[in-house]
Structure 1
Amino acid sequence: MSTKHALTRTLAVTAAAGLVAGIVATTPAAAEAGAPSSAVAIASNDKGSPGQGASVAISSLTAGPQISRSETISRAASWVGIGLNYNWNTTHQGYRTDCSGYVSMAWHLATPGLDTTSFVPSGVASWITKDQLKPGDALLNDAAGASGHVVLFEGWTDSSRTSYSGYEFTSSGVHHRTIPYPYFSGYGTFKPVRNNSIVDDAQPLAGDQPVAGNWDGGGSANVGVFRPSTGEFHLRNDDGSLTKVNWGAYGDLPVSANWDGTGPDNIGVFRPSTGEFHLRYDDGTLTKLYWGANGDLPVAGNWDGGPAANIGVFRPSTGEFHLRNDDGSLTKLYWGQQGDIPVSGNWDGTGPDNIGVFRPSTGEFHLRYDDGSLVKVNWGTNGDLPVSANFDGANGGPAANLGIWRPSTADFHLRMDDGSLIQINWGQPR
């Protein structure tokens, strides 16, 4: 069996797939349709708000339905790139086509949406601190009309937390772009705010997601991240250099393994909305495989001992792994429970690859060996995301190693065969 079994790294989330971030470029004349002349100077700057329509009456408003952070980001992304013009006298999907109507849509509030003066007084949202910001929160200037504006927060662009990736509706359309914290200068005071009905995903989708694999064919496996906002894999080589590969889209979940049985390990994504794996081969070609369903979490490994790695899914609702063999047949294994995150690797260094789960609530890995026995390893804490690969392969160890990626610091904490720690900073913190 090949020792290159750098395997799946997964995140427990579901969201609509195929929403690729972009920028709508419309003419100022079109963007200002319905806007009073006093708003034109502000609108032409392509920042802030050229004005807002009437808010839902607070007296008749009820809080929005419970909504996850991933669904909020997915809803925001659905208005990017479809040619909407800023006009507070019109609606799309029942929501006003202005800045506050757009965020109201992303938060799934009552149509046609609140305005910037109403989010907090209505009880729909509450002020939070910068340190509390998470994907799906917002930066709000709660002044009225063209003096107010609101931007949906997706995530920090780097560890300095001086800029963030955000969604906003301005005079030239719907943007997904990098914004200085809290907002571009000269547009008033912006403060963090949170929808009171938003809930965390089992694992956050927005922001980097960890992967691991032998990208450069060296003796040991390497780390990397998948960046949903750009559809890019940022892979770290043995010498610390970066390789970027565009593959996948917002809502996809990353996987990695040696799909074609030769050369370095390969990347891929699982698209929950369609149940498809999109696997990238050494020559850059695409192979699509249908396996799993929305709600499943992807895994990859050499289940049957053939030359190439296989795909699979973990079904949290039943605690089942559904593994696909080379001939397309299914192997089912019960392992894990709701809330666990799947991992895979050749834990015992012989035979086929094995499955396992990381249990965030306890910081434990529950690994299944070839004989069906359980080995528990404490590594990581709640909020960490698991990775697995042969990180110390250059030392001759045939078995796969465990690791975690810590979103708050963008640090990988990798466990070697002797239990020692190697820490690598890679990716962007959340």
Structure 2
Amino acid sequence: MSTKHAMTRALAVTASVGLVTGIVATTPAAAEAGAPPSAVAITTDDKGSPGQGTPIGTAQLTAGPQISRSETISRAASWVGLGLIYDTDGTYQGYRKDCSGYVSMAWNLSKTGGGLDTTSFVPTGVASWISKGELKPGDALLNDAALAAGHVVLFEGWTDASRTSYYGYEFTKSGNVLHRQIPYPYFSGHGTFKPARNNSIVDDAQPQAGDQPVAGNWDGGGSANVGIFRPSTGEFHLRNDDGSLTKVYWGENGDLPVSANWDGAGPDNVGIFRPSTGEFHLRMDDGSITKLNWGANGDLPVSANWDGGPAANVGIFRPSTGEFHLRNDDGSITKVNWGQQGDLPVSGNWDGAGPDNVGIFRPSTGEFHLRNDDGSLTKLNWGANGDLPVSGNFDGANGYPAANVGIWRPSTADFHLRMDDGSLINLNWGQPH
């Protein structure tokens, strides 16, 4: 599709938080690839722990229930900015207000004793040691010494492919619950930290192995069309206006598809977001690749023309926080709060003017919640639970400038595309699953 009309598809994770609106822009210096804008830079001396509660004996332990990685991160984020004071004898929501009580809360462990301490996580069987290469969101960096000598940090994700620093959540000695960038494994001079994993944590839902929908203006005609990405073969099957097929080999199993006009000329093209590395691999008209580090494992990709420049760009939707992190042409980041866990992101020029914007498809209600330039909401009932969203200017050949929404139904491999007048175009494309 054109630079004004981009598409995204990704798979959701589950939980429930409220839909909120808001927008924040940061400078290129603050916009490291994929960096959560809320993360605090490594400039503070606030490190480590001043002490902890009493160790919990194995007989007192009640193991926590199964918990997803995204829920763990969401629980950790819920204590940030509350002004809690570090207090080994005090509790909040039943958990001790210290580093290990905080991680016990994020992992939804027993509230007995206000949570475990750093010496107890592994010996009680609640957690196990893992390798650096195994770290995933919701794991921890643990110094298992006692009292003030010990400390624990919840791992959110690597800052970039070098894996020399990461984003973490921790309750520190000043009394602050911080979300910040931390050198791996932790700041020097604060003991020995090793990766550990809650034995009850489970991965979030992964991309389906079957076809995944895309939309774009593949042939330079007046309107956008549809296509599918087939992860099993690493192929895009793109439908042209005359019903013919264009096949592009790009991506591999586990990738998530995106599409837009990356170079600002000619037809739209395809790309993939690779969750395992937090990288976008974007295909240009001449077949070359542009690689961008933006996002982290668990994020869902979007693509559109956020800043009104000549070319489209990329972004991610972070389900754990309900935030879009959008990359501009100069490398800066625009952050938009829109959506909640369980939503699937879309993007497009909903009002036909200005830059593109974001939206979400809520499978639980079959609704699209589209954000306009002024921050207002347009709500459309289109689709059902199990459908996957697409967006593009499907009726552009009729002179309509605004983007439209649609869904792809995996059970039938049918696209149901909504026109500006509310009418339906139905196209069968792809393989059902």
| Shorter-chain TM-score above 0.5 | yes
1:305 partnered with 2:395: yes
Q: Return the match for 2:300 from 209, 219, 231.
A: 209
Contact 1:21 1:230 in 2 (8 A): no
| SS in structure 1 of the partner of residue 8 of structure 2 | coil
The one-letter amino acid paired with 1:374 is G
Match of 2:46 in 1: 46
Flag the 1:234–1:374 CA change in 2: closer, same or farther, 3 A. Answer: closer
Q: Return the match for 2:370 from 248, 264, 279.
A: 279
Match of 2:327 in 1: 235
Match of 1:342 in 2: none
Q: CA deviation at 1:118?
A: 0.5
RMSD: 4.0
Match of 2:221 in 1: none
- Counterparts of 1:53 and 1:275, CA distance in 2: 47
- Counterparts of 1:163 and 1:230, CA distance in 2: 24
Q: With CA pairs under 8 Å and 6+ residues apart, which has the higher RCO, 1 or 2?
A: 2
Q: Return the match for 1:259 from 327, 336, 350.
A: 350
1:245 partnered with 2:334: yes
The one-letter amino acid paired with 1:117 is T
Flag the 1:74–1:218 CA change in 2: closer, same or farther, 3 A. Answer: closer
Q: CA deviation at 1:79?
A: 1.1
Match of 1:66 in 2: 66
- Counterparts of 1:318 and 1:69, CA distance in 2: 31
Match of 2:248 in 1: none
Q: Return the match for 1:142 from 136, 141, 144.
A: 144
When structure 1 is superposed on structure 2, of 286-295 and 109-118 the one drifting more is 286-295
Flag the 1:247–1:217 CA change in 2: closer, same or farther, 3 A. Answer: closer
Q: Return the match for 2:181 from 158, 178, 189.
A: 178
**Aligned residue-pair number:** 315
| SS in structure 1 of the partner of residue 195 of structure 2 | strand
- Counterparts of 1:164 and 1:181, CA distance in 2: 7
Flag the 1:375–1:65 CA change in 2: closer, same or farther, 3 A. Answer: closer
Q: CA deviation at 1:188?
A: 0.4
The superposition leaves residues 348-377 of structure 1 with CA deviations (integer Å, 9 ceiling, x where unpaired) of xxxx6x7xxxxxxxxxxxxxxx2x25369x
The one-letter amino acid paired with 2:199 is N
When structure 1 is superposed on structure 2, of 290-299 and 64-73 the one drifting more is 290-299
Q: Which runs of 5+ in 1 are unaligned?
A: 25-43, 332-351, 355-369, 377-430
Flag the 1:173–1:373 CA change in 2: closer, same or farther, 3 A. Answer: closer
| SS in structure 2 of the partner of residue 242 of structure 1 | coil
Q: Return the match for 2:128 from 113, 126, 135.
A: 126
Match of 2:359 in 1: 268
When structure 1 is superposed on structure 2, of 173-182 and 11-20 the one drifting more is 11-20
The superposition leaves residues 318-369 of structure 1 with CA deviations (integer Å, 9 ceiling, x where unpaired) of 999887664668x7xxxxxxxxxxxxxxxxxxxx6x7xxxxxxxxxxxxxxx
- Counterparts of 1:183 and 1:295, CA distance in 2: 43
Match of 2:157 in 1: 155
Contact 1:53 1:96 in 2 (8 A): yes
Flag the 1:272–1:177 CA change in 2: closer, same or farther, 3 A. Answer: farther
Q: CA deviation at 1:92?
A: 1.3
- Counterparts of 1:57 and 1:324, CA distance in 2: 60
- Counterparts of 2:366 and 2:148, CA distance in 1: 44
Contact 1:14 1:272 in 2 (8 A): no
The one-letter amino acid paired with 1:14 is T
Where does 1:187-206 land on structure 2 (aligned, <5 Å)? 187-203=190-206
When structure 1 is superposed on structure 2, of 84-93 and 292-301 the one drifting more is 292-301
Flag the 1:234–1:221 CA change in 2: closer, same or farther, 3 A. Answer: closer
Contact 1:296 1:313 in 2 (8 A): no
The one-letter amino acid paired with 2:326 is H
Q: CA deviation at 1:131?
A: 0.6
- Counterparts of 2:393 and 2:117, CA distance in 1: 54
Flag the 1:2–1:96 CA change in 2: closer, same or farther, 3 A. Answer: closer
Contact 2:346 2:360 in 1 (8 A): yes
Contact 1:303 1:323 in 2 (8 A): no
Match of 2:11 in 1: 11
The one-letter amino acid paired with 2:187 is F
Contact 1:165 1:178 in 2 (8 A): yes
- Counterparts of 1:23 and 1:223, CA distance in 2: 20
Q: Which runs of 5+ in 2 are unaligned?
A: 21-35, 207-274, 276-295
The one-letter amino acid paired with 2:345 is P
| SS in structure 1 of the partner of residue 379 of structure 2 | strand
Flag the 1:2–1:102 CA change in 2: closer, same or farther, 3 A. Answer: closer
Match of 2:283 in 1: none
| SS in structure 2 of the partner of residue 152 of structure 1 | strand
Flag the 1:178–1:106 CA change in 2: closer, same or farther, 3 A. Answer: same
Contact 2:167 2:181 in 1 (8 A): yes
Q: CA deviation at 1:164?
A: 0.7
Q: CA deviation at 1:114?
A: 0.6
The one-letter amino acid paired with 2:196 is V
Q: Which runs of at least 4 in structure 1 moved beyond 4 Å after TM superposition?
A: 1-4, 18-24, 204-208, 214-222, 226-230, 249-253, 269-278, 290-298, 312-329
Where does 1:25-104 land on structure 2 (aligned, <5 Å)? 45-104=45-104
Flag the 1:247–1:23 CA change in 2: closer, same or farther, 3 A. Answer: closer
- Counterparts of 1:322 and 1:94, CA distance in 2: 48
The one-letter amino acid paired with 2:403 is A
- Counterparts of 1:13 and 1:90, CA distance in 2: 33
Normalising by the residue count of structure 1, what TM-score does the alignment of the two structures yield? 0.61
Flag the 1:373–1:322 CA change in 2: closer, same or farther, 3 A. Answer: closer
Identity %: 63
- Counterparts of 1:280 and 1:310, CA distance in 2: 13
